[in-house]
Amino acid sequence: MTNEPLALDEAALLAMPPQDYMNAQQLAFFRQRLEAQRNELIKNLASTGEHLRESEEMADPADRATQEEEHTIELRTRDRERKLLHKVESALNRIERKEYGYCKETGEPIGLRRLLARPTAGLTIEAQERHELRERQLGN
């Protein structure tokens, strides 16, 4: 017999009673989802580097401008993915510390539906809204 929790699907996860929140099966579910996301992001980052190194020099100024714009868009996308990778790593660390699924600000459960939609969430919706409101107020 193995200690590894059985794999869940989203429906089984949501069907669990509230007192089972962030049990071993749920943590394993989110760990697997986050690890898959991390692997995809790492693969994308590596392919961008290869793609940018492989690009050929264009003689036509219009073609060169198009190529530069494509590279700029690709680099912006990869920068967003790099930031997301940091959030994924942070979420995986919270799983290891058994802090995953609980708001970093209030300690309240974040909720399975929110975590399914955004596995890297570290705040409840209410705490996130307060955080965004403070950012807007300080930014003005």
For 73-131, write each residue's pLDDT tens digit. Answer: 888 888 899 999 999 999 999 999 999 999 999 999 999 999 999 999 999 999 999 99
Distance of alpha carbon 37 from alpha carbon 20, whole angstroms: 25
* 44 plus 71 within the same structural domain: yes
* 32 plus 85 within the same structural domain: yes
- Burial (CB count <10 Å: 0-12, 13-18, 19+), residue 5: middle
CATH of the domain at 68: 1.20.120.910
* 93 plus 26 within the same structural domain: yes
pLDDT at 77: 84
* 94 plus 126 within the same structural domain: no
For the whole model, what pTM was predicted? 0.79
* 3 pLDDT more than 80: no
- 28-74: per-residue pLDDT in tens? 999 999 999 999 999 888 777 666 655 666 677 777 788 788 878 88
* 43 plus 27 within the same structural domain: yes
pLDDT at 51: 60
Instruction: Print the domain residue range for 137.
Output: 101-140
pLDDT at 2: 45
Residue 66 in tokens: 């198009």
Mean pLDDT of the chain: 87
Q: How many domains does the chain have?
A: 2
Q: Considering the domain boundaries, does residue 13 fall inside one?
A: no
* 28 plus 86 within the same structural domain: yes
Q: Considering the domain boundaries, does residue 25 fall inside one?
A: yes
- Render 64-121 in DSSP notation, one character per residue: HHHHHHHHHHHHHHHHHHHHHHHHHHHHHHHHHTT-TTB-TTT--B--HHHHHH-TT-
